[in-house]
Amino acid sequence: MSNHPRTGSPRTATLTAAVIFAAAAQLYAVGAPGAAAVVETAKKPLTGAQILAASAPSDWRPLDPHNTLYMELPTGRVIIELAPQFAPHHAANLEALAREGYFDGLWIMRAQDNYVVQWGDPDAKKAIHKAQRTLPAEFERPLRDLTLTRLPDPDTYAPVTGFVEDFPAAADPSVGRAWLTHCYGMVGAGRDNDVDSGGGTELYVVIGQAPRHLDRNITLLGRVVQGMDLLAVMPRGSGAMGFYEHPAERTVIKSVRVAADVPESERTQLEVLRTDTPTFAAYLEARRNRREEWFKVPAGRIDVCNLSVPSRLRASAAAPK
């Protein structure tokens, strides 16, 4: 098996915490000229995979089952983490929609290549009981209300980018506003021309190059933490904007449930790397400057949409109870 672009060594290593913290400490130099040179002076900089392998349990945060949705497709489970930090009313409405079974039996009805996969009710007729059909837009939030781990590199679209917990975000400190960014796997609430015409009854997920021109134009409300491999392979629709022209082309949604409502034994125990830790800082630097042997010219930079915050099954989930 030869001749392929590689993503990093699948090997893991057992390393001491001291080594990790040394790697993380270098990070405080990033953004300054010569940062790459500082990293190169380390005896043996760790790769991203090595940093994760040596992380502490406290570097990880379990998904909150009250902010997590399971969408069950015929091919498996898609796990969506909601972002109430940015879209509290949409997140609450999504939970209400899930709890009244709104999505059960509806369909994935659109797949536009290098853009979005979308699901909901193609006829917009299904009754809604306690949830809302539309909500005021939630495009931005006050930056002061959020803890943003900033990236040191320039971005085409925004003055500042980074992560709020594990969500990719951008901000304009000059006006004190922050917003989620349309990276691969981000989930939003479709709308019509009226900015307040969305609400979550139709959802889309980004399946290609980040359509950042949608930022602040439509409400993002979460991200797919597991299951993008199921959504991204949906056959592209032949209709305008990738809509399926024939009902038989749609994929049925078996159910959408709030994880907290699913028996614990049936939950997927995922955890995500905390982005406010030295381990994340070290990981970020290892992704800005790849240390695997395959790489010859380290980029020295990273786009916010090129760093997917790592997630994994919790170790305890694999142990007998």
- Could you say which residues in the range 222-241 bind a copy of itself, by CB under 8 A? 228-229, 232-236, 240-241
Can residue 198 be called a binding residue for a copy of itself (CB under 8 A)? yes
Q: How far is the CB of 192 from a copy of itself (least distance, A)?
A: 5
Please report, as residue ranges, which positions from 239 to 268 form the binding site for a copy of itself (by CB under 8 A).
Answer: 240-241, 243
State the maximum Cα–Cα separation within the chain, in Å, rounded to a whole number: 63
Can residue 124 be called a binding residue for a copy of itself (CB under 8 A)? yes
Can residue 107 be called a binding residue for a copy of itself (CB under 8 A)? no
Can residue 113 be called a binding residue for a copy of itself (CB under 8 A)? yes
Sheet of 76-82, strands arranged across: 251-252, 107-112, 116-120, 203-206, 186-189, 220-226, 76-82, 68-73, 255-258
User: Which of 94, 210 has the CB closer to a copy of itself?
Assistant: 210
Q: How far is the CB of 152 from a copy of itself (least distance, A)?
A: 11
Please report, as residue ranges, which positions from 5 to 44 form the binding site for a copy of itself (by CB under 8 A).
Answer: 5-7, 10
Q: Which two tokens stand for residue 224?
A: 């797919």
Q: How far is the CB of 235 from a copy of itself (least distance, A)?
A: 6
**Stretch near a copy of itself under the rule CB under 8 A, chosen from 40-48, 79-87, 267-275, 302-310:** 302-310
Other C-beta atoms closer than 10 Å to the C-beta of 228 total 19
Please report, as residue ranges, which positions from 131 to 170 form the binding site for a copy of itself (by CB under 8 A).
Answer: 139, 153-157
Other C-beta atoms closer than 10 Å to the C-beta of 240 total 9
Please report, as residue ranges, which positions from 266 to 295 form the binding site for a copy of itself (by CB under 8 A).
Answer: 287, 290, 293-295
Q: Which H or E run contains 95?
A: helix 88-99
- Residues contacting 135, CB < 8 A, separation 6+: 89, 90, 93, 189, 196, 198, 199, 200, 219
Can residue 4 be called a binding residue for a copy of itself (CB under 8 A)? yes
Interface residue with a copy of itself, options 176, 208, 264, 266 (CB under 8 A)? 208
CA-angle at 106, arms to 102 and 111, nearest 5°? 125
Can residue 216 be called a binding residue for a copy of itself (CB under 8 A)? yes
Q: Which amino acid is at 248?
A: A
Residue with tokens 């609430």: 189
Interface residue with a copy of itself, options 138, 215, 249, 285 (CB under 8 A)? 215
| Rounded-to-integer distance, Cα 165 and Cα 20, Å | 21
Q: Which H or E run contains 107?
A: strand 107-112
